[in-house]
Amino acid sequence: MSKLQVVIVTPESTTLDKQVDSVVLPLFDGEKGILANHAPMIGRLGKGKLRIKDGGSEESYQIDGGFVQVESNVVSILTGKSDVVTGD
């Protein structure tokens, strides 16, 4: 299976930069799942949980708005704040 490069950038630092299998984004008007070879897109993020899956593991981040760009198997997330969520 092809991989995605996901990058989360906040004003303070790059929070995450790694290859994963899939990403589920909290857009301002609903959730959007992204897999490898997704069509290019730009979207506005809402508040909510960003879920990243790699193999059998899943990581979650609480996102507080921002923007996402998907292009050439790279998911770039620009947000004002992202916190790691432990548990559900």
Residue 86: what pLDDT?
53
Are residues 25 and 44 in contact, defined by beta-carbon separation less than 8 angstroms? no
What's the whole-number mean pLDDT along residues 5-33?
94
Q: Rounded to two decimals, what is the model's pTM?
A: 0.89
Convert the pLDDT of each residue in 23-82 to its tens digit. Answer: 999 999 999 999 999 999 999 999 999 999 999 899 999 998 999 999 999 999 999 876
Residue 52 pairs in a beta bridge with 23, 59
| CATH number for position 65 | 2.60.15.10
Instruction: Please give the Cα distance from 71 to 20 (Å, whole number).
Output: 15
Residue range(s) defining the domain that contains residue 78: 4-85
What's the distance, Cα to Cα, between the start and end of the chain in Å?
Answer: 27
Instruction: Name the more confident of 13 and 69.
Output: 69
Tell me how many domains the chain contains.
1
pLDDT at 1 over 70: no
